[in-house]
Structure 1
């Protein structure tokens, strides 16, 4: 397939003959290239795209692709190669219409034809470059809670960079994200595609729960599935023995499940996901990687909502990791996705109850019982505390409730004893919590949107380590005062709240997680409508 594409690309007789005949040439004959017919055709074809038209005006309509000589030929070759491999990146191949471009090049008969082809090649290049560099989709139009601004590079920049490049092929190869994550996702994509062509992982496991010591056909199906997935060596055992239990535990670790070695409902649901469904997750993850900022920060915090985790990374190496609780999967409580910079910590924080929580949750309680939620205090517009007995709660509703509600610092504070602030318009931050038992759950979506940390003190020590000789001692000296204290970070730390149902590790298997908010399902459907396909047989 690839060989045929290249033969067509570099053996277009009509285009080559036009070039050889001097209808399009370079050097002293540049005036021929800029003939009225060619210029008019380029101007006409580019007119509907302001940036593209601007590029050609600024370059006096000099051809990028249809000039004679090795430079333009190298650009054509690089473009054809990139477009023929667009599917490797999970892109909508039909959008770039390589076959149509080849047909038009083969049918060229005049300078006007070449002018139109010139712009068609530029349009295909720009469509591909923007898709592979910053994504096929506009995130917030697919999922409202994805608060990422993805800005396409201007045509003048993309084409200008290509024109200035000494090696066009390398210039196009530099367009996709140059991250280890993206490279490993591409590798997983190719592995799954090969696996699907070979028949996938075989039959699903027909059971709701399997435990060590059991036998029968369902256990055999479990055994075979684990062998096909690479978690278990080939075996003739028909019993759920120690080897199968260990394999199940390893599978559970790779899928964010409780590692009890029992194939319960959640484990079997993950096991029975097809290779094609996993491939969809990988393609979506590649699109999401294209949305994320190229410069993550030498040190940064990565919160993966589907993994219920928060990590600190230095030079892409894991420095610290802790479990997290995320926003509940209802209404406006789902945690948004965005990036910002952590600026300070608040030790012994006061909880300023968000108005939405105050009027939706606490005002109804206080109407029923004025002394409800006694750990909270009311304050008027002047910042003075108002006694509960002085308030007729029945006179207020969500629109006219005039009080601010706060919880003073304490070990019972809803924010715990420390919060990590990256000021943003979504009022999202990381924080401690007194509800420690929630971290033992497999699925941890319980908050109003903020991210709760299981090990907030250890997280704080690591965040403070670049500026404190003994971060633990410093932290506890402030904590011991009992007073709300702001600790500024000398160097801000980028925070990226992401959502990945497929993500990689430097060592080990690719990790998969449940689509807790069904965001990846929406993204896959949007990609499918845009023309992305698995291009393989479902397993």
Structure 2
């Protein structure tokens, strides 16, 4: 006997069920109108005028206000969408004003100077004035005025809360928009995070949670509030140093892995971090920058500084993963270096290429007698250049590989004396490491691969040996000019790439003025 089903086609039934479920979810997520709006307002304000308020009339005014105030909102689409989904329910006015929450968040906004930010951005005074008006039972004279003030207070509060939350959690400036050589994964605020802020039921818990808790941030914040002056700087320049580096700490681009390699470009230093502690550090040489003589600075800011003009040899800011080491590498010389340096030197000295161990290729074939080439008339791109492994090789005995679009890596160098110089922005863009064998040992551990690396570096071979890391290690090339060291001392470094002045140029319109900062120091 065959089994027969009473449902001939189950797909439409499934679709109907899904649509019904979606409708229930939508209905449950959309707040119902406050049918007793007038009674609630009167009970909380004791203003008889508000007793006749109804949600439909308020919604009409609210819609109009959202349009008229659109140009003053930082996130008009998010805020408008939030209230559309919630039937234009004034949640901040109705659920937070009369229990002190709106006064509370206004107090947080007033203290934005503690983050180096201008409190005026967050409209604390306007919010407090409107709150006081609702608490005065005779201040609002007509229902029309009441609708207007409810909508205005609601919009001001929502907009300022979103702005404040975004500023503390993600920073005021998107680094990708101001830096040409910035390739770090950096999370920016999105609709999910902003809707979560608007839907928060416990505003104090929200505001406490978004205070940056990075120990470095807290120490820079303390220094900003104290109002001290760094040695050799003015008070204003010191504050600017602190402000731009606090902004960097607000960016969501920080390492989160238990182990990673980090290079701080202005400090010319590499650290291997494990569980929050540096287990290995060394000097590095980074790419040459546009400001190696510190001719542009935060001391006397010029508006033209806000335009990023990276020097072609600057080391980019990026994050990636080290996946292999190559011992006795061949250097595939970039075309820019070949045309500007190699071909120029070869024209001066026909034996330059041989002395440097550089082979020349044309159309993929090795040129056997490169000393006969007329380099003066040769065009960039006509030839390719590769430097053989050996003591002359510019990459030294080892390079550490990680994927990136800038063709940079960590590597050894034969020019060891350069590590003794204080200003070490000297390379073509890659990072030369002071103790490559120690770095290899840290990354590979006491393994056969490390033994091979140590042996081959001591006894150079004519061809490279590539060894994969058993586990990829994250690497971060960063740019920080002010931090607190392990002894609690503030460290400052010259703005070798001019990236501080670029950031300050975009950030300064959001920063607290000198009077506000002086007031913080007096507290």
Task: Determine helix, strand or coil for the equivalent of 1:65.
Answer: helix
Does structure 2 retain, via aligned residues, the 8 Å contact 1:24–1:67? Answer: no
Question: Does the aligned pair in 2 maintain the 1:347–1:418 contact within 8 Å?
Answer: yes
Residues 153-187 of structure 1, C-alpha deviations (whole Å, 9 max, x = no match)? 1244223245245x322222322443222122222
Instruction: Check whether the contact 2:170–2:251 (CA below 8 A) recurs between aligned residues.
Output: yes
Larger CA Rg, structure 1 vs 2: 2
The answer to which of 100-109 and 430-439 deviates more is: 100-109
- SS of the residue corresponding to residue 332 of structure 1 reads coil
Aligned partner of 1:145 in structure 2 is 181
Cα distance 1:533–1:455, how it changes in 2: closer, same or farther (>3 A)?
farther
**CA distance, structure 1, for counterparts of residue 235 and residue 149 of structure 2:** 46
Residues 22 and 424 (structure 1), Cα distance of their counterparts in 2 relative to 1, 3 Å cut: farther
RMSD: 3.3
Residue 90 of structure 1 is matched in structure 2 by 116
Whether 1:496 and 2:476 are equivalent positions in the alignment is: yes
Number of matched residues?
A: 441
Whether contact under 8 Å (1:407, 1:413) holds in the other structure is yes
In the TM superposition, what are the counterparts of 1:23-62 in structure 2 within 5 Å? 32=55, 35-37=58-60, 39-41=62-64, 43-44=66-67, 49-62=76-89
| Structure 1 residues 31 and 342, CA gap change in structure 2 (3 angstroms) | farther
In the aligned structure 2, how far is the partner of 1:24 from the partner of 1:406? Answer: 85
Give CA deviations for 1:102-133 in whole Å, capped at 9, x if unaligned: 23444564123212221221111122222222
Question: Tell me, what secondary structure is at the counterpart of 1:394?
Answer: coil
Alpha-carbon contact 1:139-1:148 (below 8 Å) kept = no
Partner residue of 2:489 out of 509, 513, 520: 509
Change (3 A) 1:69 1:367: closer
Cα pair 1:376 1:405 within 8 Å, conserved: yes
Asked whether the equivalents of residues 303 and 497 of structure 1 are also in contact (C-alpha less than 8 Å), the reply is yes
Residues 1:100 and 2:80 are matched in the alignment? no
Q: How does 1:282-431 map to 2 (within 5 A)?
A: 282-330=242-290, 331-374=311-354, 375-382=357-364, 384-389=366-371, 391-398=373-380, 401-431=381-411
Correspondence list, 1:120-199, <5 A: 120-148=156-184, 150-161=186-197, 163-164=199-200, 167-191=202-226, 193=227, 195=228
Change (3 A) 1:175 1:294: farther
CA deviations over 1:402-447 (Å, ceiling 9, x no partner): 2211111123210111112222111221111000001111111111
Q: Where does the alignment leave 5 or more consecutive residues of structure 1 unmatched?
A: 1-14, 201-269
Instruction: Return the match for 2:241 from 281, 287, 294.
Output: 281
Residues 30-82 of structure 1 deviation map (CA, whole Å, 9 limit, x = unaligned): 97488434542465357662222222223333333112368x84642442232
TM-score (norm 2): 0.75
SS in 2 for 1:395: coil
Structure 2 unaligned runs (5+)? 1-39, 135-144, 291-310
Residues 33 and 62 in structure 1, CA contact (< 8 A), matched pair in contact too: no
Separation in 2 of the partners of 1:110 and 1:328? 62
Instruction: Report if the CA contact (8 A) 1:23-1:111 is conserved.
Output: no
Residue 199 of structure 2 aligns to a residue in which SS? helix
Provide TM-score, normalisation by structure 1. Answer: 0.73
Q: Is contact 2:170–2:187 with CA below 8 Å preserved after alignment?
A: yes
* Structure 1 residue 364, shift from structure 2 partner: 2.0
User: How far is 1:305 from its partner?
Assistant: 1.2
Contact 2:287–2:426 (8 Å) recurs in 1 = yes
Q: Distance in 2 between matches of 1:461 and 1:37?
A: 69
Given candidates 473, 487, 500, the residue that maps to 2:451 is 473
Q: SS where residue 320 of structure 2 aligns? A: strand
